[in-house]
A and B are shown apart, each in its own frame.
Chain A
Amino acid sequence: MTEASSGGTIVVTLNGDERDVPAGLTVSGLLAHLGLHERLVVVELNREILRRDRYAEAPVNAGDTIELVQFVGGG
């Protein structure tokens, strides 16, 4: 999409939209890249819930489908 795509980005589906993210990130790295607090976000990686203690090791691969959810107001 941008010139960075030749310099190490991959495309993932993030909360329903295709996005370029830096290649070689772990899930922790992805959350940091997006400016999200690990403690406040639950991650679903390719339809499987990822335990929080695995964020630091789980790699983000091209073509992954990732859902990042949080608690919002509700009844």
Chain B
Amino acid sequence: MTVAEMLEKIDEPLELAGRKFRSRLILGTGKYKDNETMVRAIEASGTEIITVAVRRVDLDRTKEEGILYHLDPDKWALLPNTAGCYNADDAVRYAGLGRAAGFGDWIKLEVIGDQETLLPDVEGLLEAAGTLVANGFKVLAYTNEDLITALKLEQAGVAAVMPLASPIGSGLGLLNPFNVRLIKSRVSVPVIVDAGVGTASDACVTMEQGVDGILMNTAVAAAKDPVRMALAMRYATESGRLAYLAGRMPKREQATPSSPTAGMLD
């Protein structure tokens, strides 16, 4: 039995924005060295959801960068983002353009507050989330690992809260597992950790916190071998999820023997 087949028996599907998914790994499509590597990495990851950005068509055609030339939208669910937006109005505009492409009414909402850290602008995020929910969007909101913001987003009606592990593209891993667990324990919508994972152990530790899924881009795209890393991330995500479901043993500061102490020779 493969890991995927076992998971199907012992884990619930991820329910996100009214759809069910087997994979708990969501993959971004940015920064790959070429489209062929990107497609192979996406396939290796086992993901069912890929994120895309909305940008102007290059009318001078210096390169053909439209992602739909390379990715079959029947094979993967396309999740548009509002990356690069620094205020609520822009994010709402980009979300509308993403929805008009015709692949669904969900949006990965980013409202960035600072160019250096790419940390979210909480005020703009909450404003955009409210507007988009009112306009019928299913909002997956990229946010700080802050409980109060997560609670406010849930109250605004988002479909998922997506706290960061560490800043976008930093590869620093899960910096605040306590806050991420706290958010997961208090909100009822899915919690997807988005951004900051650097390697497989980061993904595993993140999933061990009990979150519903993980979204990453650079960790795979910027690996020396993105296809191998995508496969590593797939196993790490599944490993972490299984370890969480299994429930880890308590930590002890003393050793306890695994073999019987009785029956030793004189």
Q: Chain B residues near A41 (CB, 8 Å)? A: 57
Is B57 within 8 A of A15, CB to CB?
Answer: yes
With both chains docked as a complex, state the minimum distance between the C-beta of B113 and any C-beta of chain A, in angstroms: 17
Q: Chain A residues near B83 (CB, 8 Å)? A: 74-75
Residue of A nearest to B67 (CB): A71
Is A75 within 8 A of B57, CB to CB?
Answer: no
The answer to whether the Cβ of B166 comes within 8 Å of any Cβ in the partner chain is no
Q: Chain A residues near B30 (CB, 8 Å)? A: 73-75
With both chains docked as a complex, state the minimum distance between the C-beta of A53 and any C-beta of chain B, in angstroms: 11
Give CA–CA (A69, B81) in the complex, Å: 13
Residue of B nearest to A34 (CB): B59
- A-B contacts counted at CB < 8 A amount to 92
CB under 8 Å from chain A, chain B span 4-31: 28-31
Give CA–CA (A69, B216) in the complex, Å: 24
Q: Chain B residues near A73 (CB, 8 Å)? A: 28-32, 38, 52-53, 65, 67
On whether A70 and B66 interact (CB within 8 A), knowing A41-B57, A75-B83, A75-B217, the answer reads: yes
Q: Chain A residues near B80 (CB, 8 Å)? A: 71
Is A71 within 8 A of B54, CB to CB?
Answer: yes
CB under 8 Å from chain B, chain A span 5-25: 14-17, 19
Is B68 within 8 A of A71, CB to CB?
Answer: yes
The answer to whether the Cβ of B247 comes within 8 Å of any Cβ in the partner chain is no
Give CA–CA (A17, B58) in the complex, Å: 12
The answer to whether the Cβ of A4 comes within 8 Å of any Cβ in the partner chain is no
Secondary structure call for the A interface:
strand
Is B218 within 8 A of A75, CB to CB?
Answer: yes
With both chains docked as a complex, state the minimum distance between the C-beta of B10 and any C-beta of chain A, in angstroms: 30
Is A42 within 8 A of B101, CB to CB?
Answer: yes
Give CA–CA (A39, B100) in the complex, Å: 11
Residue of B nearest to A19 (CB): B59
Q: Chain A residues near B97 (CB, 8 Å)? A: 42, 44, 49, 69
With both chains docked as a complex, state the minimum distance between the C-beta of B193 and any C-beta of chain A, in angstroms: 13
The answer to whether the Cβ of A1 comes within 8 Å of any Cβ in the partner chain is no
The answer to whether the Cβ of B55 comes within 8 Å of any Cβ in the partner chain is yes
With both chains docked as a complex, state the minimum distance between the C-beta of B26 and any C-beta of chain A, in angstroms: 10
Residue of A nearest to B94 (CB): A69
With both chains docked as a complex, state the minimum distance between the C-beta of A12 and any C-beta of chain B, in angstroms: 12
Is A68 within 8 A of B59, CB to CB?
Answer: yes
The answer to whether the Cβ of B180 comes within 8 Å of any Cβ in the partner chain is no
Is B51 within 8 A of A75, CB to CB?
Answer: yes
Instruction: List B residues at the A interface (Cβ < 8 Å).
Output: 28-32, 38, 51-57, 59, 65-69, 78, 80-81, 83, 96-98, 100-102, 168-169, 195, 215-218
* 10 A-B residue pairs with CB within 8 Å: A15-B56, A15-B57, A42-B54, A44-B97, A68-B56, A68-B57, A71-B67, A74-B83, A74-B217, A75-B195
